[in-house]
């Protein structure tokens, strides 16, 4: 994997292939999480994501391109109702947009074999999306999936009660 490159100005690749401004790329990236995914809007997803989309975080066996991202949008929509992505920070550099957000909702359907629990959840995510000509072409993410699964699978007492400190040693 090549090293991460941080720049303060757009790369040559970004300036030669994209006519979008930082504001345009931010809006395009935000729209996918704030509007399209919660609505499970496949037509809007087709307008926002390239057919050659590459999801660098997709597990083996995920269909390539737009079909893979559409599959996960539908999977999330079937598993969770009242979904929302609250975006806390959005940064753009050339053709890349970074977003820090919280995904929340209600677990009302099967999620990778875990039957609906009726539990509310909220967990953190980071996304980097590469936008060319107004469409997402690449995606990288870091999600706190362990926190999500803890919230969905633990008993209410386990998920809401903090761990207790060990008893102090007797001084007698």
Q: Which tens digits make up the pLDDT trace of 42-83?
A: 999 999 999 999 999 999 999 999 999 999 999 999 999 999
Q: What local confidence, expressed as pLDDT, does residue 172 receive?
A: 43
Decide if 133 contacts 24 (C-beta within 8 A): no
Q: Which tens digits make up the pLDDT trace of 24-40?
A: 999 999 999 999 999 99
Q: What local confidence, expressed as pLDDT, does residue 23 receive?
A: 74
Q: What local confidence, expressed as pLDDT, does residue 154 receive?
A: 76
Six token digits for residue 136: 């997402």
Q: Which tens digits make up the pLDDT trace of 128-169?
A: 999 999 999 999 999 999 999 999 997 555 444 334 444 444
Question: Which CATH architecture group holds 12-152?
Answer: Roll (3.10)
3-state secondary structure 52-119: EEEECCCCCCCCCHHHHHHHHHHHHHHHEEEEEEEEEEEEEECCEEEEEEEEEEEECCCECCECCCCC
- Contacts of residue 84, Cβ cutoff 8 Å, sequence gap at least 6: 38, 103, 104, 105
Is residue 120's pLDDT more than 70?
A: yes
Decide if 64 contacts 139 (C-beta within 8 A): no
Q: What local confidence, expressed as pLDDT, does residue 20 receive?
A: 54
């Amino acid at each position: 994997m090549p090293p991460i490159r941080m720049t303060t100005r757009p790369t040559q690749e970004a300036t030669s292939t994209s006519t979008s401004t930082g504001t345009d790329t931010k809006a395009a990236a935000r729209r996918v999480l704030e509007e399209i995914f919660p609505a499970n809007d496949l037509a809007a997803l087709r307008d926002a994501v390239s057919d050659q989309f590459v999801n660098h975080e997709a597990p083996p066996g995920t269909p390539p391109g737009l079909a893979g991202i559409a599959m996960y949008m539908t999977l999330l929509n079937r598993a969770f109702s009242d979904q929302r992505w609250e975006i806390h920070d959005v940064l753009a550099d050339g053709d890349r947009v970074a977003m820090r957000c919280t995904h929340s909702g209600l677990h009302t359907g099967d999620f990778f074999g875990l039957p609906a629990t009726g539990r509310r959840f909220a967990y953190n995510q980071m996304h980097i999306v590469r936008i060319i000509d107004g469409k997402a072409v690449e995606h990288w993410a870091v999600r706190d999936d362990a926190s999500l699964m803890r919230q969905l699978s633990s008993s209410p007492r386990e998920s809401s009660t903090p761990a207790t400190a060990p008893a102090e040693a007797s001084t007698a």
